[in-house]
């Protein structure tokens, strides 16, 4: 039997992006083509920035700078690639990508499998502007893979049936399960964007309260984003510059090193004013797989990954005092840190391994091909 050929469509503007795409490229058991460059992508993986710039300039010129005409040209280019490569199934990174390529795929009778990662279904303006194309996707031979259970009702409201919805958050690689944390280090770790949905300011303020009881505690924060400078200013105002280390964006090797050096993982996720919320944060799954207890919030898919009072603690959004109390409790009870950490490792292995997610995606692709 011929191995199916899939096209992985990622909206990354200048290159394929994100942990989902990376893991699909490396691990899905199909022949694969990867495109990027927008919600209807048209650049092959490996296309140089120079060639991208020339191509974009050329397409804009022949469209006479008319947006609708440009989109038609891009869709024609996408269709040519599908035909040339003899694609059997398109795998869209983000629901909006799957919806954007639906018209071309429907014309060619190619099924679609799309991830639902968060902002495209939670953020009010994005959801409102795309509701019509999401609903059209729901009427097609399409399957959606939400990474959090709280997305399922929203997808049903958009017209997707139970059979089309496959809940499956991305999981942790095997390497993370081999990590042994430093439970006696008194070091907290946070990894993520300095963005409104992560509310890094609350994590910093909660840590300041921890220092009142444990002045030798440490906090390492990896990542950057629009709130980075604001948070730098905050730690200076709180006189915590010698206690909090901002290390910027990190690779997986550094991430694993930091996990092995830390005792507790923290992330104070909140729902933004525009409705944006977490999907299921990969960083939390990986921290728990590594054996770190997690202190986080009752937000998005986080409630599916942390068992409150068994593998970590979940507090209400914006509850600074409860966040600090749970952090202090763990430092006061070293035996609990270890117990929570080991239970978390076992829970993630049973429910959120990368192998399980890849199998879910593979089976969904096969199901979509059998539904043609």
pLDDT digits (tens, 9 = 90+) for 192-223: 989 998 999 999 999 999 999 999 999 999 99
- Determine how many CB atoms are found less than 10 A away from the CB of residue 335: 8
162, 164, 170, 171 alpha-carbon torsion, rounded to 10°:
60
Q: Is there a contact between 181 and 262 (Cβ–Cβ < 8 Å)? A: yes
Is 70 exceeded by the pLDDT of residue 105? yes
Q: How far is CA 84 from CA 28, 81, 93, 157, in A?
A: 21, 5, 21, 36
Give which of 88, 112, 109 is closest to 98, Cα–Cα.
112
Average pLDDT over residues 89-106: 96
What is the structure's pLDDT at 258? 98
Mean pLDDT (the chain, rounded):
94
What is the structure's pLDDT at 278? 77
pLDDT digits (tens, 9 = 90+) for 122-167: 889 999 999 999 999 999 999 999 998 989 999 999 999 999 999 9
pLDDT digits (tens, 9 = 90+) for 276-330: 777 888 899 999 999 999 999 999 889 999 999 999 999 999 999 999 999 999 9
What is the structure's pLDDT at 47? 94
Is 70 exceeded by the pLDDT of residue 339? yes
Distance CA 235, CA 245 (A): 10
What is the structure's pLDDT at 342? 97
Beta strands in 192-344 (DSSP E): 218-222, 244-248, 264-266, 294-297, 312-315
- Determine how many CB atoms are found less than 10 A away from the CB of residue 144: 27
What is the structure's pLDDT at 1? 65
pLDDT digits (tens, 9 = 90+) for 40-64: 999 999 999 999 999 999 999 999 8
Distance CA 174, CA 359 (A): 15
Q: How far is CA 106 from CA 76, 110, 115, 137, 365, in A?
A: 13, 6, 18, 9, 16
Is 90 exceeded by the pLDDT of residue 186? yes
- Which H/E stretch holds residue 228? helix 228-237
Distance CA 79, CA 103 (A): 10
What is the structure's pLDDT at 28? 95
Average pLDDT over residues 107-116: 97
What is the structure's pLDDT at 272? 83
pLDDT digits (tens, 9 = 90+) for 15-40: 877 778 888 999 999 999 999 999 99
- The packing angle between helices 282-289 and 252-261, to 10°, is 50
Domains, in order of start, for the chain: 5-170+353-370 (3.40.50.2000), 174-351 (3.40.50.2000)
């Amino acid at each position: 039997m011929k191995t199916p050929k899939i096209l992985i469509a990622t909206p990354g503007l200048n290159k394929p992006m994100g942990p989902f795409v990376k893991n699909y490229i490396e691990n899905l058991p199909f022949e694969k083509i990867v495109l990027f460059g927008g919600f209807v992508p048209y650049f092959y993986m490996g296309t140089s920035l120079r060639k991208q710039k020339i191509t974009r300039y050329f397409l804009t010129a022949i469209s006479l700078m008319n947006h609708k005409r440009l989109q038609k040209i891009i869709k024609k280019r996408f269709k040519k690639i599908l035909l040339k490569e003899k694609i059997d199934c398109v795998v869209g990174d983000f629901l909006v990508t799957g919806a954007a390529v639906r018209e071309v795929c429907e014309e060619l009778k190619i099924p679609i499998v799309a991830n639902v990662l968060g902002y495209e279904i939670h953020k009010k303006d994005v959801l409102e502007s795309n509701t019509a194309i999401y609903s059209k996707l729901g009427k097609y031979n399409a399957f959606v893979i939400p990474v959090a259970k709280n997305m399922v009702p929203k997808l049903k409201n958009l017209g997707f049936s139970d059979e089309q919805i496959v809940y499956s958050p991305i999981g942790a690689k095997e390497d993370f399960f081999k990590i042994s944390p430093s439970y006696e280090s008194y070091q907290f770790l946070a990894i993520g964007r300095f963005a409104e949905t992560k509310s890094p300011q609350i994590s910093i303020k909660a840590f300041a309260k921890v220092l009142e009881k444990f002045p030798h505690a440490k906090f390492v924060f990896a990542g950057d984003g629009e709130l980075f400078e604001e948070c730098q200013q905050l730690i200076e105002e709180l006189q915590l510059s010698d206690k909090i280390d901002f290390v910027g964006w990190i690779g997986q090797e550094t991430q694993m090193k930091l996990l092995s050096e830390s005792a507790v993982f923290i992330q104070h996720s909140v729902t933004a004013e525009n409705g944006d919320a977490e999907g299921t944060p990969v960083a939390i799954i990986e921290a728990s797989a590594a054996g770190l207890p997690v202190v986080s919030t009752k937000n998005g898919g986080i409630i599916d990954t942390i068992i409150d009072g068994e593998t970590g603690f979940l507090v209400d959004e914006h509850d600074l005092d409860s966040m600090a109390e749970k952090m202090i409790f763990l430092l006061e009870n070293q035996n609990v840190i270890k117990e929570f950490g080991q239970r978390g490792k076992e829970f993630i292995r049973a429910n959120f391994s990368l192998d399980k997610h890849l199998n879910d995606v593979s089976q969904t692709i096969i199901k979509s091909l059998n539904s043609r």
